[in-house]
C-alpha cells in the first residue's frame, strides 16, 4: 500500500491527537500479534495431529503431496489480491483456513526432526522474532532502504529452493538456510515498521478497513515467523535416525 499521505500525528490540531494515535496503534498492533499467534498455534496443532495420524506419509507417496505444498501459496495469493473485495469476516476466515492448510504442509517436520529440537528451535525463533519486531516498531531509522535488498534475497531463496527440489544438494540447502535466516530476520523488522506506518496512513479511521489491514499485517508477520522457523530448523534441528 502506498505511504504517500502525510502521517496524521504530524498534523496536530490538539494535544490529545498524538495520545489517541499512540493508544490506537498499540491496540492495533496487539490485535495483529494476537491474530498471528493464534494462527501459529492452529498451524502447530494441525501439523502435529496430521503427522501422527499417518495420513501425511500416505499423501507423500501420491501426487497429493504437491497440492499440500502449493495450497498455502494459493491462499496467500487469494488474500493478497482479493482483500479489497472481501468483507473483514471473510478475510479472517480465510486466514484461519490458511493457517490450518499450512499445518498440513508442515506436518513433515514432526517426521524428520525430533520433538525436542522442534521445541528448542521454536523458542529460538520466537525470541529472535520478538527482538526484531520490537526493533522495527521502536526504531526511528527508515528501514525501507533495505527493502529492495531483502526482496531480492527472498526471490533468490525461492528460486534456489525450487532448484534444490530436483538436485537435493545438502550444500545448497545449507546456503539457502543461512541466507534465509538473514533475510527473514531483516524482513521481520522491516515488515513491522511498514505495518506501523500503514496504520497511521490508512487504518486510523478504524472499522472494516482497519480490520482487513490487521489481518494482512498478521499474515505478513506469520509468514516471516514460519519461514524463519523453517530456516533455523534446517540449521539447528536434530534429525530423527
* 3-state DSSP assignment of residue 113: strand
Residues 6+ apart with CB under 8 A from 27: none
CB atoms within 10 A of CB 126: 15
Beta bridge partners of 190: none
Residues 6+ apart with CB under 8 A from 231: 176, 177, 178, 180, 181, 184
117 burial (CB, 10 Å; 0-12 / 13-18 / 19+) is middle
- Model confidence at 208, pLDDT cuts 50, 70, 90, reads confident
* Residue 64 or residue 172, greater confidence: 172
Which 8-state DSSP code applies to residue 145?
Answer: G
* 3-state DSSP assignment of residue 5: coil
Residues 6+ apart with CB under 8 A from 199: 24, 25, 28, 29, 210, 213
pLDDT higher than threshold 80 for residue 241: no
- Model confidence at 6, pLDDT cuts 50, 70, 90, reads very low
pLDDT higher than threshold 50 for residue 110: yes
pLDDT digits (tens, 9 = 90+) for 19-75: 555 778 888 899 999 999 999 999 999 999 999 998 888 887 888 888 888 888 888
pLDDT higher than threshold 90 for residue 174: yes
| pLDDT for 19 | 52
Helices marked H in 83-206: 88-105, 109-112, 115-138, 147-167, 170-198
pLDDT higher than threshold 90 for residue 2: no
Length of the chain: 241
Residues 6+ apart with CB under 8 A from 219: 39, 76, 79, 95, 98
How far is residue 128 from each of residues 1, 92, 240, measured CA to CA in Å? 27, 27, 25
Amino acid at each position: 500500500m502506498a505511504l504517500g499521505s502525510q502521517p496524521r500525528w504530524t498534523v496536530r490540531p490538539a494535544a490529545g491527537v498524538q495520545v489517541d494515535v499512540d493508544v490506537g496503534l498499540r491496540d492495533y498492533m496487539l490485535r495483529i500479534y494476537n491474530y498471528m499467534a493464534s494462527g501459529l498455534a492452529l498451524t502447530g496443532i494441525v501439523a502435529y495431529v496430521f503427522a501422527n495420524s499417518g495420513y501425511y506419509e500416505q499423501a507423500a507417496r501420491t501426487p497429493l503431496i504437491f497440492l499440500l505444498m502449493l495450497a498455502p501459496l494459493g491462499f496467500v495469493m487469494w488474500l493478497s489480491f482479493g482483500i479489497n473485495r472481501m468483507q473483514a469476516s471473510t478475510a479472517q476466515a480465510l486466514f484461519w483456513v490458511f493457517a490450518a492448510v499450512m499445518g498440513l504442509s508442515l506436518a513433515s517436520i514432526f517426521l524428520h526432526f525430533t520433538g525436542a529440537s522442534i521445541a528448542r528451535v521454536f523458542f529460538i525463533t520466537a525470541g529472535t522474532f520478538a527482538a526484531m519486531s520490537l526493533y522495527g516498531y521502536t526504531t526511528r531509522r527508515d528501514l525501507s532502504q533495505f527493502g529492495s535488498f531483502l526482496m531480492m534475497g527472498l526471490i533468490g531463496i525461492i528460486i534456489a529452493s525450487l532448484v534444490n527440489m530436483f538436485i537435493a544438494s545438502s550444500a545448497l540447502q545449507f546456503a539457502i538456510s543461512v541466507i534465509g535466516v538473514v533475510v527473514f530476520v531483516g524482513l521481520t523488522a522491516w515488515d513491522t515498521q511498514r505495518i506501523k506506518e500503514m496504520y497511521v496512513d490508512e487504518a486510523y479511521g478504524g472499522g472494516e478497513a482497519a480490520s482487513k489491514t490487521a489481518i494482512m499485517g498478521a499474515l505478513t508477520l506469520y509468514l516471516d515467523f514460519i519461514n524463519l522457523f523453517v530456516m533455523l530448523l534446517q540449521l539447528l534441528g536434530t534429525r530423527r535416525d
